[in-house]
Amino acid sequence: MPEFLDPQIWLDHVFSAKAAQTGGVVRRRVRDVERIAGRELFCREVRRRGFRAIENNGHFVVFCNRAPIYPLE
């Protein structure tokens, strides 16, 4: 497996994005997360950082802050 697909390196890259560093939002395809890092490791990393995430239509959307999430239905 190429180094850039190492699960921990990939996760570090995802969460070093400017949006993640400034409390924004990052989005990744579920299939990519499952292929590279696995759902369990990804979810554990989201929780470890104190972030929240949702899954919708084949994507994970991670809110890179600790603010509450309110659905607008």
The whole-chain average pLDDT of the chain stands at: 94
- DSSP-derived secondary structure letter, 36: H
- Indicate the domain borders of the chain: 3-63
Q: How many CB atoms lie within 10 A of CB 37?
A: 22
Q: Is the pTM of this model over 0.85?
A: yes
- For the cut 60, the answer to whether the pLDDT of residue 72 exceeds it is yes
pLDDT of residue 73: 82
**Confidence at residue 4, expressed as pLDDT on a 0 to 100 scale:** 64
Question: With contact defined as beta carbons under 8 Å apart, do 50 and 67 qualify?
Answer: no
- For range 38-60, the mean pLDDT: 97
